Chain A
């Protein structure tokens, strides 16, 4: 019985951590493009959206 006294708060705290992680992802636009995200994993050629790297990257690309 006493085990519940600390297990419940611990479980709740974990839940709150997960919930805030979810809200962080939501606000950060992680759910904006679910289809595209799946493809981007497979593609190591896509440069981070930085203006300096892009021309160089375009030249190096294989296809």
Chain B
């Protein structure tokens, strides 16, 4: 014990000496190999003020102790950024920590120790039975077994007892009830038989059961823990930015947590409100479904109160912040993002129902076995032994684990690669997809656009366009604002700006209308339409075109090729001008495309596809994609998308790579396959072992091993998904063989 206490004492002493020493944990999701660990630790230790840095490769995090007088956590994030790693302070919702604190590993150790030693004693007894062991030695050995088993069971089996007790108190049955009953009956009967000096002793069975079941639980727990901490890492990186207007009327972007009461925020259409506040100007609809569960949007105008975390649906708003607390917002987003892992998809619900029906059946089967053997005149001892074996064998563990374990493994794999799965049954729907429809700007192409030839645009024009653009989250609008800022222009937001999805932005300026948007909507002559993607129209001036460098994402061609090679249908639907869409479609290798599509056109096209029997995966990022994302069979959104699209999508992927689209499909298909396999394993196990146990061919020890092995097998089968190399299989042919892969 001294060795544990001593370093802690030393550490606290040194903490007292340097009271400015601060510890921080940074999430570094792209730390994936030993080389990264080394680079990160060396870079941090070489930077001034850092006392210690220790990277954890499994958690993708680094713990740093530093001197607050010399550096800050923001500075350390900068150090890692210089090394090419994105990092952020971990937002700890405390859930991951509480998972790890359950101490399952220690219980596994104790149960393992006990089962090994009891087995050793049991083997002596069994071989003694065959040779010359006398009854008193046998009883002594049984007492030794009891001495090891009782404390070990009391300690190790607590999770099962606690869960069973909680279920019984709530007048429910769960899978821990028959387990606990089996363990308790086997132990009590063994103690009684030991006192009587009989040889019907099953301490080995009870302890082995606990040991193997705990291994399964520990595997499941470590998978959940990894998935949790990966999700927390992603959430930490999800910088929450708010646009605020300073006293000088200039719009600036700041971190949501730095919003102070009294500041005026601009909330673009489709954007999440960063802090509680009161609407100053503007009129919009607020989607509060996340907080109130109310699905109909609430209409707000000046004077109405709005809450952090809700989504501004219709038009830009100016909101005066009344609170600076971003905890509600983060908690809401965390809850939203975690929903995927916790969710009860169709298969999970099916497994739940099966387990719920099955749990009472287990007890009835056990009782029937006991009564049956009693009636057959076997005596109460063999009858009870067989009943215990049936109780243990029929426990629906494998069945109850079969699907949730796959779900956790799949979300964990996706989280680890930067994709957040949000929808409850998202995996199942993704597995059924046979057609993928992409949006162009910001989805097929890079989200970070650059305005071309911005020098050719006069400063006052650029500033006026940016004044409209600043209230929008569209990639083109954001590029205009960036270009204006890069030129050193102050962006004063134009009050009364409205956003029309799929068209553009419009504002009244002194009775005249200014528009920034698509060529059609702005009213550009047909012969000039091909010159630019975005047009700015002021009264009595010719429209001015803005051109953008609209590059395909670097792996777009490869991903589209992979999807097509596997047999998926691929289409491109964009609101951009047809020429630009045609060019992007040609470059990406997509034969089926449509340009100039309004949100309604996109929706109609998806409907037509789905009516033809296709299951469509929509990949999009814009305000105009939200309706199609919601109506498609499954949907994906990049993390640069407007919040309303991210909320509508089943999954959100980070980073500049389109490979996430193919990856999500692969994981979904593999998860579907593994869930079916697990069901089959659980079913096969029950069909084989239940009749054998009822017929009395299975001793409690064999039952314990068989049952816990079956649950370990399904868990390991699911864990495989985390590291499996996956290829994209051909899409399911749902129209011909519905439901069959």
**Does B592 belong to the interface (CB within 8 Å)?**
no
- Shortest C-beta distance, B503 to chain A (Å), equals 50
* Chain B residue with Cβ nearest A31: B105
Evaluate contact between A61 and B42: CB separation under 8 angstroms. yes
From A15, A19, A39, A54, give the contact of B33 (CB < 8 A). Answer: A39
A46 and B133 alpha carbons, distance in the complex (Å):
58
Q: Which of B41, B42, B51 contacts A51 (CB 8 A)?
A: B51
Chain B hits for A45, CB < 8 A:
38, 42
- CB neighbours (8 Å) of B56 from chain A are 32-33, 36
Judge whether B53 and A11 touch: CB under 8 Å. no
A36-B113 contact in complex given A24-B4, A58-B46, A61-B42, C-beta closer than 8 Å: no
- With both chains docked as a complex, state the minimum distance between the C-beta of B10 and any C-beta of chain A, in angstroms: 13
CB-CB under 8 A from A23, the residues of chain B are: 106, 109
Query: Does B305 reach chain A (CB closer than 8 Å)?
Result: no
Q: Does B361 contact A (CB under 8 A)?
A: no
Residues of B within 8 A of A51 (CB): 45, 50-52
Q: Is B34 an interface residue (CB 8 A)?
A: yes
Least distance between B228 CB and chain A CB atoms (Å)? 15
B51 touches A15 (CB 8 A): no
A19-B110, A31-B105, A57-B42 known; A8 and B57 CB under 8 Å? no
The CA-CA distance from A30 to B519 in the complex, in Å, is 63
B45 adjacent to A57 (CB under 8 Å): yes
Contact call A35/B133, Cβ cutoff below 8 A? no
**Cα distance A34–B38 in the bound complex, in angstroms:** 16
The CA-CA distance from A4 to B109 in the complex, in Å, is: 25
> Closest approach, in angstroms, between the C-beta of B137 and any C-beta of chain A?
7
B144 interface hit (Cβ, 8 Å): yes
User: Is B137 a contact partner of A43 (Cβ separation < 8 A)?
Assistant: no
Q: Does B612 contact A (CB under 8 A)?
A: no
Interface residues of A in 3-33 (CB under 8 A from B): 4, 8, 11-12, 15-16, 18-19, 22-24, 26-28, 31-33
Q: Which of B34, B53, B148 contacts A36 (CB 8 A)?
A: B34
Stretch binding the partner chain, chosen from B117-125, B199-207, B456-464: B117-125
A42 to B51, CA, bound (A): 24
B3: A residues at CB distance < 8 A: 24
A18 touches B113 (CB 8 A): yes
B37 at the interface (CB under 8 A from A): yes
Whose C-beta in chain B lies nearest to the C-beta of A33?
A: B56
- A36 shortest CB reach to chain B, Å: 3
B57 near A39 (CB under 8 angstroms)? yes
Majority DSSP secondary structure for residues of A touching B: helix
A38-B116 Cα distance, complex, nearest whole Å: 28
Q: Tell me which residues from 239 to 286 in chain B have a Cβ below 8 Å from any Cβ of chain A.
A: none
- How many residues belonging to A are interface residues under a CB distance threshold of 8 Å? 37
Contact B116 A15 (CB under 8 A): yes
A43 and B57 alpha carbons, distance in the complex (Å): 14
Nearest Cβ on chain A to B131's Cβ, whole angstroms = 9
Any A CB within 8 A of the CB of B365:
no
Q: Are A49 and B58 in contact (CB under 8 A)?
A: no
A16 proximity list for chain B (CB < 8 A)? 113
Complex Cα spacing A15 to B58, Å: 30
Contacts of B137 in A (CB 8 A): 1
Complex Cα distance, B53 from A58, in Å, reads: 13
Residue of A with least CB distance to B67: A51
| Residues of the A chain whose Cβ atoms lie less than 8 Å from the Cβ of B45 | 47, 49, 51, 54-55, 57-58
A26, B120: Cα distance in complex, Å:
25
- Rounded to whole angstroms, the CA-CA distance of A8 and B46 in the bound complex is 55
B37 touches A11 (CB 8 A): no
Decide: B53 and A33 in contact? CB cutoff 8 A: no
Q: Which A residues touch B113, using CB under 8 A?
A: 15-16, 18-19
Q: Which residues of A contact B53 (CB under 8 A)?
A: 49
The one of B38, B43, B117, B124 in contact with A15, judged by C-beta atoms closer than 8 angstroms, is: B117
Residues of A contacting B605 with CB < 8 Å?
none
Residues from chain A with Cβ under 8 Å of B4 in the complex: 24, 27-28
Known: A33-B56, A36-B58. A26 touches B106 (CB 8 A): yes
Given contacts A19-B110, A58-B46, contact A33 B52 (CB under 8 A): no
Most buried by A among B34, B50, B105, B133: B34
Question: Are the C-beta atoms of B51 and A35 separated by less than 8 Å?
Answer: no
B213 CB within 8 Å of chain A = no
CB–CB B57/A33 < 8 A: yes
Q: Is the CB of B109 within 8 A of A26?
A: yes
Measured in the bound complex, the distance between the Cα atoms of B83 and A26 in whole Å is 33
- Which residues in A have their C-beta under 8 angstroms from that of B109? 19, 22-23, 26
Contacts of B33 in A (CB 8 A): 39
What 0/1 pattern do residues 140 to 152 of B give for CB contact below 8 A with A?
0000100010000
Given A8-B144, A27-B4, residue A58 in contact with residue B42 (CB < 8 A) = yes
Q: Which residues of A contact B38 (CB under 8 A)?
A: 43, 45-46
**Residue of A at shortest CB range from B45?**
A54
The CA-CA distance from A57 to B41 in the complex, in Å, is: 11
Q: Are B46 and A55 in contact (CB under 8 A)?
A: yes
**B181 is an interface residue with CB less than 8 A from chain A:** no
- Of all chain B residues, the one with the shortest Cβ separation from A47 is B45
Q: How many angstroms between the C-alpha atoms of A51 and B33 in the bound complex?
A: 24
Residue B177 CB within 8 A of the other chain: no
**Chain A residue with minimal CB distance to B109?**
A22
Q: Within the complex, what minimum Cβ distance (angstroms) separates A45 from chain B?
A: 6
Among A26, A42, A54, A55, max chain B CB count under 10 A is at: A54
Interface contact B37-A39, CB-CB below 8 Å: yes
- How far, in whole Å, are A19 and B116 apart by their CA atoms in the complex? 12
Closest to B137 in A: A1
> B residues within 8 A CB of A31?
105
Contact status B34-A8, CB under 8 Å: no
Q: Is the CB of B41 within 8 A of A46?
A: yes
Q: Is B59 interfacial (CB 8 A cutoff)?
A: yes
B76 within 8 A of A: no
Any A CB within 8 A of the CB of B421: no
CA distance A57 to B144 in the complex (A): 56
CB-nearest residue of chain B to A37: B57
Contacts of A46 in B (CB 8 A): 37-38, 41-42
Q: Chain B contacts of A36 at CB under 8 A?
A: 34, 37, 55-58
Provide the bound-state CA to CA distance between A16 and B404, in Å. Answer: 36
**Pairwise interchain contact B117-A11, C-beta atoms closer than 8 A:** yes
A43 touches B46 (CB 8 A): no
Contact B124 A4 (CB under 8 A): yes
The answer for the CA separation of A25 and B281 in the assembled complex, in Å, is 61
Cβ of B132 within 8 Å of any chain A Cβ, yes or no, is: yes
11 contacts between A and B (CB under 8 A): A15-B117, A26-B109, A32-B56, A33-B56, A35-B58, A36-B37, A40-B34, A43-B34, A47-B45, A51-B51, A55-B46
Given contacts A11-B117, A57-B45, A58-B46, 4 further A-B contacts (CB under 8 A): A22-B109, A23-B106, A33-B57, A36-B55
The 10 closest A-B pairs by CB, nearest first: A39-B34, A36-B57, A54-B45, A58-B46, A33-B56, A35-B57, A49-B52, A35-B58, A19-B113, A22-B109
